[in-house]
């Protein structure tokens, strides 16, 4: 990645950057944050400062940093500061450790701690607007539109917008960013990417695993807040937005925001919620919980390009297999006729695979080899792993590259996040007033009512790997 002049890490400077990770001993930091830092942090130029409530010693935190980053250099410089997130007085140790250097504050903590940490940072005067520091906050950013706006108000007190990085790690995946390249750099597809030629759009974000150790978090937030409000709507906006004026982050945000304004709030009558068998027996789940572990909904985009096109999204736990993908079905060509016999058409499908098997697959119809004229499905495939001899970078590595070098391409803006909440809030309110989620078996594709949701619009769920030719 080309280092930007405005970046917080300057290639000619010997000045160190302090990376303060709130919740550095937690699961997110161990699995994602610290390994990504080890992959991209300039050696000798970043000092990791862990801050949290755990009673760690400096030596035990250094061992943790060494094990997770694979860098003994980062580990040797690492420091641990014990503090109470909500008490500004307890931040004096952090002030001493920082010694006035530039800092990135990373909140790898539960969303309920964001407000107290921001208030304590303000009270301890560790940062202020325009001071060159930066803050990184993880999704979910709020629980509804009102709380998202309150979080933005708190961030605005301490930081200019250019200092704030709101993580939706799906946006940092190379495969998600390549949606823009696929759509707007290939004249083969852009002319047909509209209601005249597209019959339907589907987006699936499926997981095989159950809630596991995230039960407490998940039972509070559920599938819509965890996935649809952020990851799924961001993918939808990239798949369906108008061309941006440039690939500058500001223009991409404008194009996404324009699209999200055209998305009608989700209607509970056109949605299905489910809960996998055995969910309420999980430790950390409230007895009799009605929290959804599966959600499917029809999405209406009310604009010239997509008016009338059926669009469906779904996400869930313990589904048949792990996959995240967008499927665009083009309208059928007229059927061929040969020797008085009608030859059935084969739907043209475009699969944008986010994970796994990252890439793009176009399913078309082709003639089967032989004397008879018989149509069969065939695939034209691009696999991203074939474009580079190196492994695809982890999304969190892309996140930290952007933070360290001053980019905002992979981060949604505040109005995008608030608008996404406005889209899902009516659905969440409607479900709070209704009965229990529909049960579904582990290893299925969710409640059968989700199939009926799509069938009502003349379609069916389409999964790559389960369609001939994919």
Residues labelled as active-site residues: 231
Name the nearest CA neighbour of 98 among 69, 117, 76, 124: 124
Q: How far apart are the first and last CA of the chain?
A: 33
The number of angstroms, rounded, from the C-alpha of 78 to the middle of its chain's C-alpha atoms is 29
- For residue 348, give the nearest of 338, 361, 359 by alpha carbon: 361
- Dihedral angle of Cα 52, 55, 60, 65, to the nearest 10 degrees: -10
Residue carrying the six token digits 């475009």: 350
**Unique residue bearing structure tokens 């994970």:** 355
- Cβ atoms within 10 Å of 347's Cβ, excluding its own: 17
Cα–Cα distance for residue pair 56/34, rounded to 1 Å: 16
- Decide: 403 and 165 in contact? Cβ < 8 Å: yes
Task: Enter the tokens of residue 85.
Answer: 């997130």
Bridge-based pairing of strands 323-330 and 198-206 is antiparallel
Query: Is the CB of residue 238 less than 8 Å from the CB of residue 261?
Result: no
Alpha carbon distance 390, 427 (integer Å):
42
């Amino acid at each position: 990645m080309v280092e930007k002049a405005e970046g917080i890490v300057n290639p000619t400077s010997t000045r160190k950057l302090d990376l303060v990770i709130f919740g550095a001993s937690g699961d997110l930091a161990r699995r994602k944050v610290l390994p990504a830092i080890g992959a991209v942090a300039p050696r000798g130029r970043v000092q990791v400062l862990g801050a949290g409530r755990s009673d760690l010693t400096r030596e035990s935190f250094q061992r943790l940093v060494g094990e997770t980053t694979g860098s003994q250099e980062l580990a040797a410089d690492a420091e641990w500061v014990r503090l109470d997130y909500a008490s500004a007085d307890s931040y004096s140790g952090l002030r001493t450790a920082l010694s006035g250097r530039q800092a990135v504050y990373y909140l790898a903590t539960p969303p309920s701690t964001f407000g107290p940490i921001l208030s304590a940072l303000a009270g301890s005067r560790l940062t202020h607007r325009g001071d060159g520091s930066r803050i990184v906050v993880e999704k979910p950013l709020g629980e509804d539109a009102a709380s998202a706006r309150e979080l933005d108000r708190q961030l605005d007190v301490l930081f200019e917008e250019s200092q704030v990085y709101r993580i939706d790690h799906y946006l940092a995946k190379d495969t998600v960013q390549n949606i823009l390249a696929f759509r707007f750099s290939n004249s083969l597809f852009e002319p047909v990417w509209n209601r005249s030629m597209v019959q339907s759009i589907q987006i699936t974000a499926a997981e095989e695993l159950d809630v596991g150790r995230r039960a407490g978090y998940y039972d509070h937030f559920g599938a819509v807040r965890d996935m649809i409000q952020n990851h799924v709507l961001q993918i939808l906006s990239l798949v369906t937005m108008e061309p941006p004026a440039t690939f500058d982050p500001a223009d991409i945000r404008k194009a996404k925001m324009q699209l999200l304004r055209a998305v009608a709030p989700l209607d509970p009558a056109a949605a299905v919620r489910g809960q996998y068998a055995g969910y309420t027996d999980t430790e950390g789940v409230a007895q009799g919980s009605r929290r959804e572990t599966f959600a499917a909904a029809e999405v209406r985009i009310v604009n010239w390009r997509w008016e009338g096109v059926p669009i469906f999204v779904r996400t869930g736990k313990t589904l048949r297999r792990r996959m995240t993908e967008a499927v665009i079905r083009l309208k059928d060509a007229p059927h061929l006729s040969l020797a008085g016999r009608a030859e059935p058409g084969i739907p043209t499908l475009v699969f944008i695979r986010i994970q796994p098997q990252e890439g793009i697959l176009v399913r078309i119809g082709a003639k089967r080899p032989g004397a008879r004229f018989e149509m069969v499905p065939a695939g034209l495939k691009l696999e991203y792993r074939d474009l580079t001899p190196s492994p695809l970078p982890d999304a969190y590595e892309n996140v930290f590259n952007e933070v360290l070098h001053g980019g905002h391409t992979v981060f949604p803006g505040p109005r995008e996040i608030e608008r996404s909440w406005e889209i899902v809030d009516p659905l969440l309110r409607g479900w709070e007033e209704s009965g229990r989620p529909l049960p579904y078996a582990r290893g299925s594709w969710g409640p059968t009512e989700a199939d009926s949701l799509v069938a009502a619009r003349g379609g069916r769920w389409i999964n790559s790997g389960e369609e001939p030719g994919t």
